[in-house]
Structure 1
């Protein structure tokens, strides 16, 4: 507002106001920051330093603003800058912000793989996925074969994002053969010794297999085996030098009893009931390993009858064999018998003479079982031969004879008839003289007289 004042000479004044309006219709001049091309760090969360705009005005700049987002997405974003002056005049300018992705995907370090072979050239190896870092979706490929051969294969991995940025890395896949061959050895054996240190043993055959093939199968078995346990080590080596060893135990045992051949059975004549001294002979033996001792349980002397002598052979492994020898002391010698002396006795009758014959004298080295005779209870007149028999406990018998003679040396008794006196009847008289009375121990053979036929 402009105030006008009029003053006269006497000092009187008058005032009036005049409004002077100065207007600003001139737009400010705005210069947006330069366009920006920035490498993306994410798809939609990229921070961008836009820079500073510049503005001039004939008045006062009140504000400069823009419509930039807090974070920028991948691609182009147009930022509009606006400047306002104190007269509310505004001007604008644009700035192009291009968020681009020219960065190849980041492949995190990948470890080489070592895989145990299961075959020579058809090994299936499962490769782990790569760890890849990228702001966009990434396609991962590799040139791995379907099957891996034994040895080293170089696999190239390629990571490609959606805008075509690529990264590659290499991974070694090493198919190794560290597996020892499968080795099957014969079973442990227990064999009977045929010698103390030279037993032949068929130990059997080992079998081996391996994916690379077997180079050799060996063992350290001796040609012959000694008594006891021997450990045989089998070794199998494949074509990559891997080896497997197993042990087979060969045990040579001696469980065979020695052979024993005892002397022949002996039958000897007894010379005494208990004191019979016999030479048994010697036993012979055989054993694959060796005989330690030969003994028997013979008594010092042998008694009448059978005695079983047990021979025992013990080999060096403690195996025992026995054999028996029977020593039989027999009595085939007849006993000695001496009959009583011959006897002559006076007859007591024709057939009923009792005679004491006496006793026989006997001897036997073992024992007399019985002494008998065939002597009758009574003896007849004349000679009777008695047989005496001695039988020992072994059934041997001997005989001797004794003669018993019954004699009659006693005259018979006879009594003549009584004397007779008869009257003569003639010159030659017949007279009945009667009979005598007679007796004898034995039979009267005859009684005679010298009587005439007639008496004068």
Structure 2
């Protein structure tokens, strides 16, 4: 007999997600025990309430006794439904927009079988935005949007009121001028707006009618306002104001203006100033464009000259090598914020006057003058000691040495050599003098031991075109080529060397510039106890100056600038000027041998440097004229370089009385200009001007030891520019006389086999300097005569059938 129920314990309650399996395999079985039956039967039944499931478990033993327990499941649902809206819809104005006509959405849910649908409409103009919402049993929801467009394509019909002409002052609002009429088939309310645009006396009124769907229509109404009367304007009185006072209308007054129609008259003014008079034109304009004017005159008084800031630079006395640069002087004015300051410098022989003039717009001016006294009390100094006194035989008298001196101010110290030949005694005196007249002297005495020799004389006459030539230089050399003495012919051309011992001598005439020898200028004589006569004959030569001065070049630029008829006078075209400028840049500026001529705006311009263009070159000649030393140097230097670059002046042409070449002159003067002081620049300006003006430069200005360097070595120039000759040329050696080294330059117009040889006075070959093939262009050979004695030598050039020879003198 078994009447005891089994003992049953349910598994724990659970929360499960919607859709998950709640099979006991996953949610658990109860535990059961029975006092008799080892195998108790289990069964269950599920009852669902919304998201709650109650599972009733029953345990039954073999005797039919049973027991129950309850297990609870909570079904979790966090997933909203899925909703799909019906398509967007376009309906005609007045048609139904009920969902029965526009459609319902479709909605499903992963848990709930019944999903609730609802919607909300928002209308803007002709667009209805319908928002659908789907909600499941646990309150999860989803939305979608359907757009319903109400089509209203019917056009509005608007008719403007008629155009009107109204008198000035009449009202122009729509209450007076009328409203348009509007016909619309869909909207209950139509909005009317208008905008006015007035030009002159015409008002253009544009009416716009707009319905709820945004359809609009326009019409235009024109309202003409009659106004032909200009305003009445009365200017304020003329005024006199002090310089610096305000001339704003707030200070000088406004005009009064009235108009028969327009209460708001526009005022404007325009000022025209001439000197200290301001003419102010006032204009009054009404809305119809009618205007009237009046004039007001404002006179600005300015009688005060400018004042220099800080006063005038003080007067001073300075050494010639300590001249300061002009300071920058400024001035202020009670009226003119931009005072014009003009500077002028007058360079005298021993003083400099600097004048600054400050001028304001009213013509008031003030001056400031500084005087600089140039002091030079220091005499020159000889570079080497004075030669010792000596006693020599008559045939061993040495040549005078070349003495040089330096000075603290004068770069070109004048050295005057004087030789007094007495009875068996020679007194040689060198006097070095600077530009200020300070001098230093050096004297050498040579005693001549004549022994028992018989003394004779050498005399003669120098004739030029049948007339005795005054001051012609005649020199006497011994057989070794040593200079014994020299003398100048008297006014009849006569000269005489006395007390000449027996022996062989050379009498040498130096032809003055402008004369050509008819007879030999070197005559060998033998003195054998009796007097010897030596005569020289010369003829004058016509010197043709075929280089041109600065004004000739200026005329070329002027003709080009004027054009038309003047072009027939042009000899140098703009393209040719560009080529000349390029040649000057290439051959004179752009070199690295220490002989560059680098003057800004003359041989180059700009940074980085480049050749000067035709327009920039033209500005040197046609621009504003300046009397300053720098401007004068640049003008004259430009003209001389153009003469050389164009072939109108050879770099080896003589331009000074003592034989300085154009090349030496330009090389020396430009270096002095770039490195010297104010007085040096004055010297440069004067002599460069003499050069392009075809006036010979004084002797002693250009050191004859200056190298003959203008163009780069071995550069072939364009034959069209005339930079180099088109035939063989053998140039005079430089320096000449020399000791012991000299340069011999020659030019080849084409590649040639060249031989250059040195001969002594009796025709013996001493040296061969060149025996090779050379390319076309300029070439230089160097002869070192250290192993040769003093005397006269000849050098001869042979090249491709060309032959020429020249004489040179070696003085040791």
**TM-score > 0.5, shorter chain as reference:** no
Bigger relative CO (Cα 8 Å, ≥ 6 apart): 1
TM-score normalized by structure 2?
0.20
